[in-house]
Amino acid sequence: MNAIHDPQEDLPLTESTFFILLSLAPKPKHGYAIIKEVEVLSGERVRLSTGTLYGALKRLLGKGWIKRFNQSGDDETGRERKSYTLTNYGRYVLNADIDRLQKMVNTAQKFSMGGQR
């Protein structure tokens, strides 16, 4: 690849996309673990149905933000499951959105506390 695409064009992420990517940030997860993690991270506001999750995963795979692999012994049954992990570019996009949100919060906090711009 000769050039890095500017992630700003993909921002802001939708809430679901943001939480899916965030749930994969510490370590790879399989589908159901993503649903549960998104529920926890969002304070139970975002509850993904199976169809919504896999629609989103399909598009994230297509964009190259995540990748899929077989992970054996992932759960208590020891069976092999498909798991998902962030790609470098996916992590780059996620960090860019976190940075964007952070700046917004900083600005909002400064403004609301002191009324300064």
Smallest distance, Å, CB 35 to other proteins? 7
Q: Does 35 bind other proteins (CB under 8 A)?
A: yes
CB of 60 to other proteins, least distance (A): 9
Scanning residues 47 to 86, which ones bind other proteins (CB under 8 A)?
Answer: 47, 49-55, 57-59, 61-64, 81-82
The DSSP H or E segment spanning 83 is strand 81-86
Amino acid at 34: I
Length of the chain: 117
Q: Which of the stretches 19-27, 46-54, 96-104, 108-116 binds other proteins when contact is defined by CB under 8 A?
A: 46-54
What lies within 8 Å, CB to CB, of 46 at 6+ separation is: 15, 16, 19, 38, 39
Cα–Cα distances in angstroms (integers) from residue 11 to residues 40, 56, 74, in the given order: 23, 16, 32
Pick from 3, 14, 78, 113: which binds other proteins (CB under 8 A)?
3
Chain-centroid distance, C-alpha 64: 13
Listed ranges 13-21, 24-32, 94-102, 106-114: which one lies at the site for other proteins (CB under 8 A):
24-32
Distances in Å between the Cα of 4 and the Cα atoms of 22, 33, 56, 98 are: 22, 31, 23, 19
Cβ 59 to other proteins shortest distance, Å: 6
Site residues (vs other proteins, CB under 8 A): 1-6, 9-10, 30-32, 35, 47, 49-55, 57-59, 61-64, 81-82, 89
